[in-house]
Amino acid sequence: MTLGDKFMATLNRFGSLYRRTHEVVDPPPTSVRREQDDLSDVVGHLAYLGYEVGQPQPDGWSYAQHPSRYDFHVRPLPWGIRLHCVVPIDAAAGNSLDAWRAYLNTANEKSGFTQFSLFENRHGMHGVRMRAFASGPYSRQVFAIVMDMWHDDLDWIRRKPAFATAEVTGEDDDEATAVTVN
């Protein structure tokens, strides 16, 4: 028996052993199906918490509304569930943006789950963007904890202190600075 024949015999023996110990099973459901299942579970969970969730938009995001909490968008993905909330704020350059920035830095340090950022839209309106991501498929116990942490973190914005407004003296009117925080 040549070396090549021994190799082929070993390979065949290993192959038959492998086929006996590793049965072929049906592939797992597609991620699209899991996302739909996760969405229906998330919608049911949010309804239990008092949210009304609209139909998913073509981009996959659904809008969750609550009578006494911040509304937000939710989207199941193949690798988890994304939450996104935007809250407009009354701030202008030279007004309280520095105070907001400092406050959001503190919120980011103490947040258990959510990332906060300050932004300005194309109309010059300022807001706070809050984003969070829960990895893995929907689980009732895990999503309950996620929502508790999400609500606690969003309360950072709800209970923010009153920021003092800078007085306008007219001395530095020609020095305007652009502010962008990501």
- The tens digit of pLDDT for each residue in 75-89 reads 988 888 999 999 888
pLDDT bracket for residue 158 (50, 70, 90):
confident
What is the predicted pLDDT for the residue at 168?
47
32 pLDDT above the threshold of 70:
no
pLDDT bracket for residue 164 (50, 70, 90):
low
User: Which is more confidently placed, 121 or 182?
Assistant: 121
- The tens digit of pLDDT for each residue in 92-141 reads 555 578 888 888 999 999 888 899 999 888 888 888 999 999 998 888 99
Q: Strand order in 126-135's β-sheet?
A: 52-53, 62-65, 72-77, 80-89, 126-135, 115-120
What is the predicted pLDDT for the residue at 151?
93
What pTM did the predictor assign?
A: 0.68
The architecture that CATH gives domain 27-158 is: 2-Layer Sandwich (3.30)
